Amino acid sequence: MNRIDQRFAQLQATGRTGLIPFITAGDPSPDSVVPLMRALVDAGADAIELGVPFSDPMADGPVIQHASERALAKGVGLAQILGWVGEFRKKDENTPVVLMGYLNPIEIHGYAKFASEAVAAGVDGVLLVDCPLEESATIKPLADAGLHRIFLAAPTTHDARLAALTREAGGFLYYVSFAGVTGANRLDLAPVRARVGAIKALAPALPVAVGFGVRDAASAVAIAEFADAVVIGSALVEHLANSSPAAAVTTAARDFLAPIRKALDARPARHAA
Amino acid sequence: MLAKPFDTAAAAAAIDYANYPDEHGRFGDYGGLYVAETLMEPLAELREAYLRLRQDPDFIAELDRDLKHYVGRPSPIYHAERLSKKVGGAQILFKREDLNHTGAHKINNTVGQALVARRMGKRRIIAETGAGQHGVASATVATRMGLDCVVYMGAVDIERQKINVYRMKLLGAEVVPVTSGSQTLKDALNEAMRDWVTNVADTFYIIGTVAGPHPYPMMVRDFNAIVGREARAQMLEQYGRLPDVITACVGGGSNAIGLFHAFLNDRGVAIVGAEAAGDGIETGRHAASLAAGRPGVLHGNRTYVICNDDGQITETHSISAGLDYPGVGPEHAWLKDTGRASYVGITDDEALAAFHELARSEGILAALESSHAVAQGIKLARDLPKDRLVLVNLSGRGDKDVHTIAAREGIAL
């Protein structure tokens, strides 16, 4: 069973809301990636999204753009990233790892080659921002190898597409809380609640994670009212980038995530829809 | 991965090029819709609106009126007799897109997209620009329709195209410098996409080239295809036959596909695209995606891209900002693979030499982009007999480039 499915099954059984931090692989430094992943798990992460930096991140706001540029300047690439996942797996058999990024690095690496290497390293899912459902035949080799293809749904996604997405989604559906780029501050809860409700009506068993615009414990708790998991990216990446010296990065990660975990756990247990 | 629709030369010869892209926006393996989910419905709306409008007699009549009375179409075909004589080979003919309003072929596309935008009820126009020609052409049509206009432009390009930046401002557009990445056209495109994804409800994104997600490569091609349709008819009228070879410069490839498209099914017409070889393809400092790149995914479509072994898009170089782009329209990628067109590199030095040659022999200052096509036209003509006809798309005029050329040649203005 894919670790993502196991983890969401556990969350559901215990009534907890999933907490999924995103970090850009290689930022603030290549050495910090594996310790950071472990620190995030210690602080309560249920899964980790590892951003694969790309030179042209069209869907990202300035925080993740700059993190990607810093990582690329240090020569971070796919092979290295898969190596970090493998190292993380040596001591953590259970926490799902999702690679998030854009198609071209994988296209150039080769889909089948990437798929087998990613599975061997211990990757569980892949979210490719510029590969919508209509083009998902492109990444079929990834699904064939056992990787979950995580799809996005957005405020502009009409009901017919939503139904198709829920049918094809692997692992969970990632609901983008507003039309915009990552890290913008435009969260308006009521429409997000309504759309997540629509997804739940279509596919009661499919976990829904909400991301974009989740910045802190308060916004995470508000989203936990109706979502199975919250994703926190830009706010964490920015927090880590501003922490120095580098040795303090893992501490900074714990300090950032632990209060959010605590706030989520202080809520009454969720019950299956 | 989709199978290629042709496996042999015979199969390639049977392709009806007028029937592409398919309904998924594909030209063989290339094209498609590689964008974030948020843009999928807006792109579907645009596709439906455009497919409806391009068959709407009112829309077609309005577009034709604008092209005739505002753009100044048809543009002439001019026989460069002195240049041809100096080269000593085939006759060199120019399709004079440099004579259009705003000085380049770009206006053909922006006039069309602005009409689509208005009929879709959008009140705000955004665009990306490299050399500034598309930015100027977008600002021009936006202000004429009373629409707000924001143009994204790489900070490096703003520095080397100051005149066009000022022209856009005179036309009431806001020019936003893009300081991410290599600070050139590709980054301007990224930033325009980010704006669009954020303001998609009221904003129309006028992409300036035949790249991007479906339907842009098709729509931008259609609006520029007037160039080839006119040229084909003019050739038959003025010379009683089609040209032997046609050539155009290729960055994203909009002027080239504009000229090429009407000739694709005329198998007797050879088609050559001139890419920017910068300092020379062997130096790595170039922008020749087709001649030296590989298939990949960038800016919403699968096409040839210039990237490293990690799939990171690498910096390109060309003296001409309008060709300084690491991707290329997917239809060109397909034409290369089918063998219907060939693509070659022209260096900065070759383009500059052609610029001067054309200026002195014919009294025409060509844009640096178009000078690549002129250089290629001269090369092609040199190797052909005098009775052959080489048609070159003179896609833009060079007024915007005089500062770049002077600086390159050590002349203070």
Dump pLDDT digits (tens) for B210-261. Answer: 999 999 999 999 999 999 999 999 999 999 999 999 999 999 999 999 999 9
What whole-number distance in Å separates Cα of residue A228 and Cα of residue A237? 22
pLDDT for the residue numbered B10 = 64
Q: Which long-range contacts (CB under 8 A, 24 or more apart) does B349-357 make?
A: B350/B277, B350/B375, B351/B276, B351/B319, B351/B320, B351/B375, B352/B319, B352/B405, B352/B408, B354/B378, B355/B398, B355/B401, B355/B405, B357/B83, B357/B86
pLDDT for the residue numbered B382 = 98
ipTM of the complex: 0.94
Would the pLDDT of B78 be above 90?
yes
Check if A163 contacts B (Cβ < 8 Å). no
Q: What is the mean pLDDT of residues A220-236?
A: 96
Q: What is the mean pLDDT of residues A6-34?
A: 97
Q: What is the mean pLDDT of residues A18-45?
A: 97
pLDDT-based confidence at residue B340 (cuts at 50, 70, 90): very high
Least confident of A99-103, B161-165, B274-278, B308-312: B161-165
Are A26 and A105 spatial neighbours (Cβ–Cβ below 8 Å)?
no
Are B338 and B10 spatial neighbours (Cβ–Cβ below 8 Å)?
no
* Residues of A whose CB is below 8 A from B196: none
pLDDT-based confidence at residue A187 (cuts at 50, 70, 90): confident
pLDDT for the residue numbered A186 = 78
Predicted confidence (pLDDT) per residue in A252-272, tens digit? 999 999 999 999 999 888 765
**pLDDT, averaged across chain B:** 95
Minimum-distance CB partner of A108 among B41, B186, B307: B307
DSSP structural state of residue B2: P
Predicted confidence (pLDDT) per residue in A200-225, tens digit? 999 999 999 999 989 999 999 999 99
Q: What is the mean pLDDT of residues B379-406?
A: 96
Minimal Cα distance from A70: which residue of B?
A: B181
Predicted confidence (pLDDT) per residue in B135-159, tens digit? 999 999 999 999 999 999 999 889 8
pLDDT for the residue numbered A270 = 73
Would the pLDDT of A129 be above 70?
yes
Supply B2's token pair: 């989709």
Predicted confidence (pLDDT) per residue in B249-258, tens digit? 999 999 999 9
Q: Do B198 and A179 touch (CB under 8 A)?
A: yes
Q: What is the mean pLDDT of residues B285-303?
A: 97
Q: What is the mean pLDDT of residues B349-378?
A: 98
Give the gap in angstroms from C-alpha B172 to the nearest C-alpha of chain A: 26
Q: What is the mean pLDDT of residues B354-361?
A: 98
What whole-number distance in Å separates Cα of residue A256 and Cα of residue A258? 6
Would the pLDDT of A273 be above 50?
no
Interface subset of B 20-39, CB within 8 angstroms of A: 24, 32-39
Query: Which residues, 6 or more positions from B116, have their beta carbon under 8 angstroms from its beta carbon?
Result: B46, B49, B50, B53, B204, B219
Query: What one-character-per-residue DSSP string does A56-81 give?
Result: --TT--HHHHHHHHHHHHTT--HHHH
pTM score over 0.90: yes
pLDDT-based confidence at residue A18 (cuts at 50, 70, 90): very high
pLDDT-based confidence at residue B182 (cuts at 50, 70, 90): confident
pLDDT for the residue numbered B3 = 40
Minimum-distance CB partner of A130 among B34, B180, B201: B34
Q: What is the mean pLDDT of residues B105-111?
A: 97
DSSP structural state of residue B213: S
Predicted confidence (pLDDT) per residue in A48-71, tens digit? 999 999 999 999 999 999 999 999
Would the pLDDT of A247 be above 70?
no
Phi-psi region of B36 (alpha: psi -120 to 50; beta: other; left: phi over 0): beta
Give the gap in angstroms from C-alpha B80 to the nearest C-alpha of chain A: 42
Catalytic residues of A: 49, 60
